[in-house]
Amino acid sequence: MLNLKGRVAAVFGLANKRSIAWGIAQKLHEAGAQLAIGYQNERMKAEAADLIEDLPGAEPFQCDVANDAEIGETFAHLKERYGKLDALVHCIAFAPAEDLKNDFLMTTREGFRIAHDVSVYSLIALSRAAAPLMTEGGSIITLTYYGAEKVVPHYKVMGVAKASLEATVRYLAWDLGKQNIRVNAISAGPIKTLAARGIGSLGDMLKYHEDRSPLHRNTEQTEVGKTAVYLASDLASGVTGEVIYVDSGYNIMGF
């Protein structure tokens, strides 16, 4: 396992033990990183705090990324508590249920705005706040999905938001490269998390991935975590602006 001792990482997007953020936090912790782990609101506090207790030394924080004041307070706290930041992990997406239910054609102005604000603009806002703390260079990691590049029925406005997220990764990589801060996305295969619960056909989708992907199995949160450890480490020192697939190879198939 890679050694991240002495590195400080902030992971945003913990809801429960199925969260990809949790798979990533566990692997960063195993590698020796000092962790701050963020949850969205009071409602998620108890469950998040309970999980985080299992990772000695890791600390919880609350941050709604739709709120600039909360982002400011979060990074003031991280600066005070750790003095620097080496890795920022963004595991956050949201679109209003209505806009995922109706035809894409019916996407509302407000639904489009919220999906892009929470799922994309938040990466820009968090990166801007994190960069001054990344005094020794750094690694920024976000999570994306194949629905950004090909039509995945039902993914709708989230697919458009993920396309924007992937472009955002490239533009941030250009801006932050001069500070030796790398910015990359991990494109994960479908995983049964809270964010995937709304999909009626998730079971079929997981089965299809198992049948069709080169590895003939589904993706696990901790496999995403292992790639995050690599991206946070010096082994990835030359890698920025990329989308790396952790999807059992599903995306390479043409038929």
Q: Report, in Å, the least distance between residue 191 CB and ligand 0WE.
A: 8
Question: For ligand NAD, which stretch binds (CB under 6 A), given 77-85, 129-137, 191-199, 207-215?
Answer: 191-199
Does the footprint of ligand NAD cover residue 85 (CB under 6 A)? Answer: no
The interface partner of residue 20, options being ligand 0WE, ligand NAD, none and the CB cut-off 5 to 8 Å by kind, is ligand NAD
β-bridge partners, 139 = 87, 182
91 binds, options ligand NAD, ligand 0WE, none, Cβ within 5 to 8 A by partner type? ligand NAD
Q: Which of 39, 145, 146, 230 is catalytic?
A: 145
Identify the active-site residue in 39, 146, 155, 230: 155
CA distance linking residue 85 with residue 133, whole number of Å: 5
Nearer residue to ligand 0WE within complex by CB, 92 or 131: 92
User: Which among 179, 80, 171 has a CA at the least distance from the CA of 138?
Assistant: 179
Annotated catalytic, 145? yes
From candidates 12, 61, 75, 145, binder to ligand 0WE by CB under 6 A: 145
Q: Which residue has the tokens 């990166």?
A: 127
Stretch that binds ligand 0WE, among 38-46, 67-75, 94-102, 233-241 (CB under 6 A): 94-102
Task: Calculate the alpha carbon distances from 47 to 41, 42, 51, 81 in Å.
Answer: 11, 10, 6, 23
Decide if residue 15 touches ligand 0WE (CB under 6 A).
Answer: no
92 lines the binding site for ligand NAD (CB under 6 A) = yes
Residue whose pair of structure tokens reads 């993914």 in the numeric block: 155
- Using CB under 6 A as the binding criterion, the count of chain residues that bind ligand NAD stands at 26
By C-beta, is 175 or 210 nearer to ligand 0WE?
Answer: 210
Residue 34 Cβ vs ligand NAD, minimum distance, rounded to whole Å: 21
Task: Give the integer Cα–Cα distance in Å for 140 and 106.
Answer: 34
CB atoms within 10 A of CB 90: 27
Q: Which range binds ligand 0WE by CB under 6 A, 72-80, 176-184, 189-197, 220-228?
A: 189-197
Name 89's Cβ contacts closer than 8 Å, sequence gap at least 6: 9, 10, 11, 12, 13, 21, 24, 28, 140, 141, 142, 228, 232
Please identify, among the stretches 6-14, 154-162, 206-214, 228-236, the one whose residues bind ligand 0WE according to the rule CB under 6 A.
154-162
Write out the two tokens for 133.
């703390």
152 binds ligand 0WE (CB under 6 A): yes
Whole-angstrom distance, CA of residue 255 vs CA of residue 253: 6
Which strands make up the sheet holding 181-188, listed edge to edge?
59-62, 34-39, 8-12, 87-90, 138-144, 181-188, 243-246
Tell me, yes or no, if 121 is annotated catalytic: no
Q: How many residues bind ligand 0WE (CB under 6 A)?
A: 15
* Range list of β-strands (E), the chain: 8-12, 34-39, 59-62, 87-90, 138-144, 181-188, 243-246
Among 24, 25, 85, 118, binds ligand NAD (CB under 6 A): 118
